[in-house]
Amino acid sequence: MKKFILCFLMLLGTGGLLKADSITFQSTVNSARISMDEAMQLTLTFTGVNQDLDPISLPNVDGFTAKYVGPSTSVSFVNVNGNSETHSERSFIYNLFPNKVGKFEIPAVTATINGQVYTTKPIEVEVFQSSDQAQAAAAAADQNPAPSMESLKDKILVEALVDKKEVYLNERVPLTIKLLVNDVPIRDIQYPQFDRTGIAVDDYEQPKQGSEVINGLKYDTVEFKTNVYPDHLGDLNLGPVQIQGNVLYKTGQQNPFSQDNDFFGGNVFNNFFDSYATRPVTLQSQAIQLHVSPLPEENRPWDFSGAIGQFDFHASVSPSEVKAGDPLTLKMEVKGNGNFKGLKIPVFKDPEFKTYEPKIKNTGDEKTAEEVIIPITVGTKEVPALTFSYFDTSIKGYKTITQGPFAIKVTAPSADQDFKAVGFADVSKEPAVLPANPFSLAKIFNNFCRFLKVLGKSIWFWISLGLIFVGEVLYFSWSRFQYRLENDPAFARKLKAVREARKALVPAEKLVTEGKTKDLYALLSKTLHDYLANKWHQYSTALSTEEIVNRLKAAKVDDIHIGQVRSILEQADLVCFAGATVDPQKMHADLSKVQELITHFEKFLR
């Protein structure tokens, strides 16, 4: 099965982000490793407090002498459900001067606000004799290893679920696959994969996000739904199901793009990119064992054609009164919940009717047929009944639905009716008497030839003929264009790509003005993905950053513009999911860059 990547479907678990509707109290240090000739800066910060506060009295800090430096106040903008809220941060800054070499703990600090007690977490710090030793220790600590699968064991889970395990051959079995993530940032999630031996599988529905609590832990979820159809008897293993993705983790390594790509805008924003990397992970569910039984032979209807599930069948005939040789329209419709892959619409056959191939449509849980039938015998009083039989899995037995017979009235055609159907019989009709033709065919032909000679000498005749020809060509071209729009989805999507992209960017300037950084970069990322997905006739969620880069290279787009695309998408990741901040000037520059990229790609992605 072709692999699709769900880019930016979720990037979860960015713990430590500010909650706009609650008070937080935390302590931080500017460096956890210093030398004896340096001072460590300790900052106690209250967030969400809109009142004046007195400085906090520090407890004794082993190994250090503390000195209060002063307060600091700042304003943060927090996006809550699309609305920007403003909160004040009040900080108290202290200098800690080391007294000796060794490892120490800055103890928890307690403060009371409005009767509520808040406590920070203790911080492990270390003092070295020289600055060189401190720098070497800090560099070694920053090289965080990629998270191991063991450490992710209870953080990321995959579940495969079915409604029942005792099923019938070719029965539709709904399959739900859940990816559950607890406090881990993960992206570039692929659609689930599993061994399809012995089963047929529908395409996945659009994935849905949600949340779920398991054993007291809250998991963010992505739910994939599809249907499977077992086509082998006996015990059948479904799964294990595998899902691949990339876990985002902090490394402290230098951004590999900063050396060669000036479009990152210098070193100002490199810190955003320098500290993150991804580790590919493959997650696996437990296998599900299905037991597949054959359909019973007992009481099987003669017209059963393989429909399994629960269905409704309706049929109609119109009009109810016609002349022999005139057409009737027979409509049949099957709706329900079951295996439409093996479902066949009843076939209508009767010697008193001429039949034609029906036009059949299959749309999800509905199958319709529309057929022209022509009565060939005067006096026919009805269209015979139609039956539809299926196996109802809820009662483990067969059911038959009957529609009709349908009463009709067929009369003889009138004397002046020209049409007579093939196979028409038993109809009396008086022969028509044609009057004698008083005109001479030779005379008519000669007059027509003389008229053509006169017409051929007129310049207006040829101009009119040319206009008619041009009109026909234009009409033909327009018809072909409309046909492609209706029948070629790739052509239609490619044609509308730039129009939809420019329309999507209309509110972007307002987001820049209002300082809604996260909303802006989410819009820029989605617009780029949707535009390129339309150009390439792909799902927008099926394009990861690397997939986009590879496709642009294949389209011979220059490296500068490819780099700009990568820059925008990486920046959007960090703003939306890692809490990075960007100033308005940079926001406006990135918006302009996306607009220029779309205009530039119109020349290459045709």
DSSP string, 540-553: GGG--HHHHHHHHH
174: preceding bond cis by omega (within 30 degrees): no
Question: How much is the pLDDT for 567?
Answer: 87
pLDDT at 448 (0 to 100): 75
Q: Which residues, other chains included, contact 22 with Cβ-Cβ below 8 Å and sequence gap of 6+? A: 48
What tokens appear for 519 in the block? 């909303």
Q: Do the Cβ atoms of 290 and 236 come closer than 8 Å? A: yes
Which residues are within 8 A (CB) of 271 and not within 5 positions of it... i.e. 6 or more apart?
none
Which band of pLDDT confidence, cut at 50, 70 and 90, is reported for residue 16?
very low
pLDDT for position 250: 67
Closest CA to 386 of 371, 398, 396: 371
The pairing of beta strand 288-293 with beta strand 166-168: parallel
Q: Where along the chain do its domains lie?
A: 24-142, 156-292, 310-411, 441-487, 490-601
Tell me 163's DSSP state: S
Count Cβ atoms within 10 A of the Cβ of residue 283 and give its class: 0-12 exposed, 13-18 middle, 19 or more buried: buried
Percent of the chain residues topping a pLDDT of 90: 26
d(CA 61, CA 334): 78
| pLDDT score of 178 | 94
CATH architecture of the region 310-411: Sandwich (2.60)
Q: Is 89 helix (H, G, I), strand (E, B) or coil?
A: strand
Contacts of 517 (CB under 8 A, 6+ apart): 79, 575, 581, 582, 587
Please count the CA atoms within 13 angstroms of the CA of 499 that sit on its side-chain side.
Answer: 5
Compute how many other C-beta atoms are within 10 angstroms of the C-beta atom of residue 440: 10
pLDDT at position 13? 39
pLDDT for 502: 87
Give the pLDDT score at 243.
Answer: 92
CA distance 409 to 361: 29
Residue 407 has pLDDT above 90, yes or no: yes
In the chain, what are the helix, strand and coil shares in percent, each to the nearest 5?
A: 25, 35, 40
Residue 28 reports pLDDT greater than 50? yes
* 30-64 confidence digits (pLDDT tens): 888 899 988 889 988 888 777 777 888 888 999 99
Low-confidence winner among 305-309, 469-473, 543-547, 558-562 (lowest mean pLDDT): 543-547
Residue 533's pLDDT is 85
Tell me: pLDDT of 460 over 60: yes
Give residue-wise pLDDT tens across range 440-457: 666 677 777 777 777 777
Average pLDDT value for the chain: 80
**Is the per-residue pLDDT at 412 higher than 70?**
yes
Per DSSP, helices labelled H in 30-147 are 131-142
Inform me whether the pLDDT recorded for 438 exceeds 60: no
Instruction: Report the pLDDT value the prediction gives residue 242, as an integer from 0 to 100.
Output: 93
Q: How confident is the model at residue 472 (pLDDT cuts 50, 70, 90)?
A: confident
Average pLDDT over residues 205-214: 86
φ, ψ for residue 117, nearest 5 deg: -95, 130
pLDDT of residue 362: 86
Fold of 24-142: Immunoglobulin-like (2.60.40)
pLDDT, residue 247, reads 84
The three-class DSSP label of residue 294 is: coil
**Are the CB atoms for 220 and 187 separated by under 8 Å?**
no
Q: In this model, does residue 193 exceed pLDDT 80?
A: yes
pLDDT digits (tens, 9 = 90+) for 135-191: 777 656 555 556 666 667 778 899 999 999 999 998 999 999 999 998 888 878 889
Residue 251 has what pLDDT? 61
223 pLDDT more than 90 = yes
Contact 110, 118 (CB under 8 A): yes
> For residues 269 and 25, which has the higher predicted lDDT (pLDDT)?
25
pLDDT at 115: 82
Between 404 and 23, residue with greater pLDDT: 404
Residue 1: what pLDDT?
A: 41
When pLDDT is averaged across residues 299-311 and rounded to a whole number, the result is 90
Q: Is the pLDDT of residue 76 over 90?
A: no
Token pair in block for residue 362: 């299959």
Distance of alpha carbon 226 from alpha carbon 177, whole angstroms: 9
Q: Whose CA is closest to 236, among 224, 228, 244, 246?
A: 228
Does residue 413 have a pLDDT over 70? yes
Higher-confidence residue: 559 or 311? 311
> Is pLDDT at 562 greater than 60 in this prediction?
yes
CA dist 354 and 423 (Å) reads 7
CB 370 within 8 A of CB 357: no
Amino acid (1-letter code) at residue 372 = V
pLDDT of residue 37: 86
Strand 123-128: give its sheet, edge to edge.
33-35, 123-128, 102-106
Q: What per-residue confidence (pLDDT) applies to 222?
A: 92
Pick from 78-87, 132-141, 192-201, 459-468: least confident = 78-87
Residue 324 pLDDT: 85
Say how far apart CA 302 and CA 245 lie, in whole Å.
Answer: 51
pLDDT at position 47 is: 82
pLDDT value at position 85?
Answer: 57
- Whether the CB-CB separation of 498 and 602 falls below 8 Å is answered with yes
With 90 as the cut, is the pLDDT of residue 335 above it? yes
Q: Quick one: fold of 156-292?
A: Immunoglobulin-like (2.60.40)
Q: How far apart are CA 311 and CA 561, in angstroms?
A: 54
pTM: 0.47
The CA–CA distances, whole Å, from 89 to 51, 120, 192, 288 equal 10, 15, 44, 52
